[in-house]
Amino acid sequence: MVNAMELNTKRLTLRPWKESDAEALYMYAKDPRVGPKAGWAPHKSVEESLSIIKHLLQGKECYAICLRDAKTPIGAIELMLHEKSDVAASKDACELGYWLAYPFWGKGYMLEAAEELLRHGFEDLDMKQIWCGYYEGNMNSKRVQEKCGFSYYCTIKDVEVAALHEKRTRHTTLLKEEDWKRLHSKV
């Protein structure tokens, strides 16, 4: 089932992926500074990017991250519902995953997108727990999770990263609904 919802923030639009996004996806996903940090290989062609849009980026809560004035994807963000997640074991839990194109790093876009998707998860989808994680060395992802209020949960060594044919250390974090509400309560 494809998501038809669009979410907006001050600077971003989070919207469903379209097949017409294949060239934009390839332009950023071919960069070796992006995918390997998140656990996937750089894209090799527009056709590969199109196939990924058709088969991987069509989750119910999967969004293209776009600048509001451009509407061209600069990254992806998803709440992987429990059936699609390795760590979310119940229907009121999910896992946050994301990546952002290199030219947009350090501008606060990922934090802005993540905060909106967390709001959506807790307020609109009635999630009680949202899990996240990062591979050893991905300090950008770690910082986004810390700024969003995620707490360290565990570290697992020798996690199979199938897309890269290697093993890595994965750090898992968790944000509970009550902690998110406490962080966002108006005092």
- Residue 1 is predicted with a pLDDT of 40
| Residue-number span of the structural domain to which 13 is assigned | 7-184
- Residue 5 is predicted with a pLDDT of 86
Report the C-alpha gap between 15 and 76 in whole angstroms. Answer: 9
88 part of a folded domain: yes
In CATH, what number is assigned to the domain containing residue 26? 3.40.630.30
- Residue 69 is predicted with a pLDDT of 86
Q: What percent of the chain stands above pLDDT 90?
A: 87
| 113-150 pLDDT per residue, tens | 999 999 999 999 999 999 999 999 999 999 999 999 99
- Residue 186 is predicted with a pLDDT of 63
Low-confidence ranges of the chain (pLDDT < 50): 1-2, 187
2 part of a folded domain: no
70 part of a folded domain: yes
31 part of a folded domain: yes
- Residue 161 is predicted with a pLDDT of 92
- Residue 156 is predicted with a pLDDT of 95
The number of distinct structural domains making up the chain is: 1
The DSSP-derived string for the chain is ------EE-SSEEEE---GGGHHHHHHHHT-TTTHHHHT-PPP--HHHHHHHHHHTS--TTEEEEEETTT--EEEEEEEEEGGG-SS--STTEEEEEEEE-GGGTTSSHHHHHHHHHHHIIIIIS--SEEEEEEETT-HHHHHHHHHHT-EEEEEEEEEEEGGGTEEEEEEEEEEEHHHHHHHH---
Q: Are strands 129-135 and 93-100 parallel, antiparallel or unpaired?
A: parallel
